[in-house]
Chain A
Amino acid sequence: MYRILIVEDDKIIAERISMHLEKYGYHPVVTERFESIDQVFLQVMPHVVMLDVNLPKYDGYYWCKKIRKLSSCPIIFISARTGELDQVLAIECGADDFITKPFYYDVVVAKIKSQIRRVYGELSGGSSDMERKIHFYGLTFYPERPELHYGQQSVSLMKKEADLLDLLISKYPRTVKREKIFERMWDDKEFISENTLNVNVARLRKKFAQLGIENAIETVKGMGYRLHVSWKEVNAE
């Protein structure tokens, strides 16, 4: 299990990040001994350090340099300062990445994941080599292929359809708001339009129909979409 040292003087932020990282299978360590971060580092020997810039006594840059003398483990800065110069300074102190406040959990997890992959390699991750496979009332969903299996049948999905299905399954039995779906489908290169959502919902319904399942996706007026288990559970193999 990867140990992640969280050095952040705002307790709420530190706790929340810690809780969230635990959910993702990491072992977060929150410290409040801001006067001797290097000692804490040696005790914990973390795989990744998350370091706030504004700390009591010495700032994050100082500790970053200190830690660099001890280890080359990845250091990710969390900072309210958005200026280019602050980021440059952080990198020069030996930081590997930079997150600006306020931030999303997803960003934190993604950055930690990428640092771990970069430094400790894919193989040592263990679970990351396994293909993701989601069982859902007799359906088997392979988000990475992406394919959907039901009984002996299977259909292959498009990227956006798979994203949509992934979201619907993870929120089941709740309704997924349109906004959430848009957020997930947002493409940095080709921007979505109103059609994007409707077309993908229609396509996904068609894919379900190919498996002999009707009315799997319900439209909730004024809100979004919801999965409806309208099929019988059958044993796949």
Chain B
Amino acid sequence: MRLFIREHTSIIALHLLQFFYLYCTFRWLDEKMVEGNIVYLFLVSLFLLIVFLAFRYAAGHSGYRWLSRVPDWNDAKTFLHMDVASPLLRAFKEGLARQFQLMQRESEKSIREIQERIDFMNRFVHLMKTPISALHLIVQDREDTDGAEEMRMEIHRMEYLLNMILTLSRMSSFRQDFHIQSVWLHPLAYEVVNELKNHFIHRQIYPVVEIPPDVRVLSDRKWLKFVLTQLLTNAIRYTGGENKSIRVYAEPQGNRMTLVVEDEGVGIPPQDLPRIFDLYFTGVNGRKFGESTGIGLYLVRKICNELDHDVSVESSSGVGTKFTILFPVSDHPGDANVTNL
């Protein structure tokens, strides 16, 4: 309404000014003019003005109302479907629609370009896996020669990094890719530990899994597996010295279930602790061990956020680090508790 009045102030002013001018002119031409007639004329003219304004308002009020608030994201597009009779507003609407189409085409183009690049990257990573597996076979053929074990570990690292790239590119279409379901923690943890077998053996670290077989949580199996793999890989990497163990266990916390990965490694210095989940942050340990990408834990937190899990960390230098994933309260009674169904 305010916008409408502001828009029409000039017309109202013109109208009044014109009437005043006419009144003066009549007065000057004819001094015996009847005042009553003038008042009558004024009222008729005012009435016509009001009719005109009312008509204008009726023709475009929805458009004015939409324009007078700054549109938020949700109804930014409603104007384009609005029926406005005012020619100016209609032209404006059509122009806006055109703009919108243009922008949409631009954004579609860039989305296509990004998708092309992701596809290219995926293809590239898969192509790289072939020479890596050839290398892997060659190393297996000369298992007992010097450095074979080291080479094998390096090959595993390459593979790990390549898989990380694949995961990163999959993250961009994350929302379509995750499905919350009931996940059994026990087999999942065993699967991950067995897949990291070589890393455990190489570093002479002993995995201990303490999860009752009946614990279920609401999560996405594939992504939770990635998170656990990431946490265990870190735990192995930052556990120096032999005969240390890494514990993976489930523990109820109130009515929610947690999954804990606890190592006896070097620990994270307190000044680094708040930033370990930041992208590309490597910290003191990253520099010292030289294997850190600064991506792993970033992904862990991002995935946990998307899955509605809380991830937290406790650590003290030289003693060890403890990562805790807190799962959402389950709908099924018994899922979040260590009870038999």
Assess whether B141 is in contact with A80, with CB atoms less than 8 Å apart: no
| A188: interface (CB < 8 Å) | yes
Assess whether A54 is in contact with B126, with CB atoms less than 8 Å apart: yes
| A136: interface (CB < 8 Å) | no
CB distance from B135 to the nearest CB of A (A): 8
What B residues does A188 contact at CB under 8 A? 190, 194
A-B contact count (CB 8 A): 80
| A105: interface (CB < 8 Å) | yes
Task: For B131, give the chain A residue with the smallest CB separation.
Answer: A10
The docked-state distance in angstroms from the alpha carbon of A19 to that of B207 is 36
Assess whether A13 is in contact with B134, with CB atoms less than 8 Å apart: yes
Name the residue in B133, B208, B222 with the highest tally of chain A Cβ atoms < 10 Å from its Cβ. Answer: B133
The docked-state distance in angstroms from the alpha carbon of A17 to that of B137 is 8
Q: What's the tally of chain B residues with a CB closer than 8 Å to chain A?
A: 37
Considering only residues 99-143 of chain A, those with a C-beta below 8 Å from chain B are: 101-105
The docked-state distance in angstroms from the alpha carbon of A31 to that of B138 is 20
Assess whether A103 is in contact with B133, with CB atoms less than 8 Å apart: yes
The docked-state distance in angstroms from the alpha carbon of A178 to that of B197 is 14
The docked-state distance in angstroms from the alpha carbon of A52 to that of B50 is 81
Q: Give the interface segment out of B24-32, B99-107, B198-206, B286-294.
A: B198-206
A54, A102, A179: the one contacting B159 at CB < 8 Å is A102
Q: What's the tally of chain A residues with a CB closer than 8 Å to chain B?
A: 31
Residue-wise, chain A 53-85 has the 8 Å CB interface mask toward B (1 for contact) of 010000000000000000000000000111010
What A residues does B193 contact at CB under 8 A? 191
What B residues does A19 contact at CB under 8 A? 141
Assess whether A16 is in contact with B242, with CB atoms less than 8 Å apart: no
Assess whether A177 is in contact with B149, with CB atoms less than 8 Å apart: yes
Assess whether B163 is in contact with A191, with CB atoms less than 8 Å apart: no
| B339: interface (CB < 8 Å) | no
Considering only residues 1-50 of chain A, those with a C-beta below 8 Å from chain B are: 10, 12-13, 16-17, 19-20
Assess whether B140 is in contact with A193, with CB atoms less than 8 Å apart: no
Assess whether B126 is in contact with A16, with CB atoms less than 8 Å apart: no
Assess whether A192 is in contact with B206, with CB atoms less than 8 Å apart: yes
| A144: interface (CB < 8 Å) | no
What B residues does A82 contact at CB under 8 A? 163, 166
The docked-state distance in angstroms from the alpha carbon of A82 to that of B132 is 15
Task: For B202, give the chain A residue with the smallest CB separation.
Answer: A179
Considering only residues 65-105 of chain B, those with a C-beta below 8 Å from chain A are: none
What B residues does A105 contact at CB under 8 A? 137, 140
The docked-state distance in angstroms from the alpha carbon of A177 to that of B150 is 13
What A residues does B202 contact at CB under 8 A? 179
| B144: interface (CB < 8 Å) | yes
Assess whether A182 is in contact with B201, with CB atoms less than 8 Å apart: yes
The docked-state distance in angstroms from the alpha carbon of A10 to that of B208 is 40
Assess whether B206 is in contact with A101, with CB atoms less than 8 Å apart: no
The docked-state distance in angstroms from the alpha carbon of A102 to that of B136 is 7
What B residues does A189 contact at CB under 8 A? 190
The docked-state distance in angstroms from the alpha carbon of A54 to that of B140 is 23
| B316: interface (CB < 8 Å) | no
Question: Can you list 8 residue pairs at the A/B interface with Cβ under 8 Å?
Answer: A80-B126, A80-B127, A80-B129, A102-B132, A103-B133, A186-B197, A191-B209, A192-B206
Binding site for B on A (CB under 8 A): 10, 12-13, 16-17, 19-20, 54, 80-82, 84, 101-105, 171, 174, 177-179, 182-183, 186, 188-189, 191-194
